[in-house]
């Protein structure tokens, strides 16, 4: 996967104190755009044609499609063959999601590759892009939990419970927004070392999944 040039869309990273808030707004745009069609088969129309914004928007669109495919596969009336096709689609979406996350990390690695590290620079437990991945999923949780608090056909108890969950999700979002900004500020100043380990998913790879490479003739 190719990293993007350092000077591509510099405004998104120009103020690291508000970086995650900008990304979250972009995620909300992708979620809203998806729900105009509200179909897992709707084609993406990415308003960003290059740079970090393009990858972030596409990543959240993939997450949104997967959210709804996960709903569909749990339909009580789904047939075995349809469920299998949905499961394979989920696997493909998971791989696409991972690819987009790694593109984001590539971009950030290139952006901060020349930063002089402090002698005691620390390593974070996850890369910035995987933290941004969690922010995308959190945006989806908030979007759909908010719907549950407004349902006319739900009991007052259901609405009350979901309102409590929504409040927790908002608090979690505030915390992760702050944490992402602090992480990037530490990386840009050399106080933390950005180190990325690729996911190396095995189940999608015919060379690494023993079910696929040990008995290939069975599936011909």
Q: Residue length, the chain?
A: 220
Question: How high is the pLDDT of residue 216?
Answer: 56
Q: Which residues contact 151 (CB under 8 A, 6 or more apart)?
A: 158, 159
- Whether residue 195 contacts residue 126, with contact meaning beta carbons closer than 8 Å, is answered with no
- Mean pLDDT of each 10-residue bin along the chain, 220 residues long: 41 88 96 97 93 95 98 94 95 94 94 95 93 98 98 97 98 98 97 84 78 64
In this predicted structure, what is the pLDDT of residue 218? 54
Q: Find, among 78, 73, 132, 145, the residue nearest to 103 by Cα.
A: 132
The pLDDT value given to residue 93: 96
Q: Is the whole-model pTM more than 0.75?
A: yes
Cα–Cα distance, 130 to 134 (Å, whole number): 6
- Please name the residues in contact with 142: beta carbons below 8 A apart, sequence gap of 6 or more: 166, 169, 170, 173
């Amino acid at each position: 996967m190719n990293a993007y040039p350092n000077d591509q869309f510099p405004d998104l990273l120009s103020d690291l104190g508000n970086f995650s808030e900008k990304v979250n707004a972009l995620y909300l745009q992708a979620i809203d755009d998806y729900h105009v069609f509200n179909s897992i088969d709707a084609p993406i129309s990415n308003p960003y044609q290059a740079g970090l914004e393009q990858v972030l928007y596409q990543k959240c669109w993939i997450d949104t499609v997967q959210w709804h495919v996960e709903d569909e596969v749990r339909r009580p009336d789904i047939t075995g063959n349809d469920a299998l096709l949905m499961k394979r689609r989920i696997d493909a979406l998971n791989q696409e999601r991972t690819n987009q996350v790694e593109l984001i990390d590539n971009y950030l690695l290139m952006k901060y590759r020349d930063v002089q590290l402090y002698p005691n620079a620390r390593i974070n437990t996850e890369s910035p892009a995987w933290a941004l991945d969690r922010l995308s999923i959190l945006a989806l949780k908030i979007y759909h939990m908010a719907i549950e608090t407004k349902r006319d056909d739900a009991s007052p108890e259901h609405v009350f419970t979901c309102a409590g969950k929504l409040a927790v999700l908002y608090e979690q979002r505030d915390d992760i927004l702050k944490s992402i900004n602090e992480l990037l500020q530490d990386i840009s100043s050399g106080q933390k070392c950005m180190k990325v380990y690729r996911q190396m998913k095995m189940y999608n790879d015919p060379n690494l999944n023993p079910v696929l490479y040990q008995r290939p003739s069975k599936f011909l």
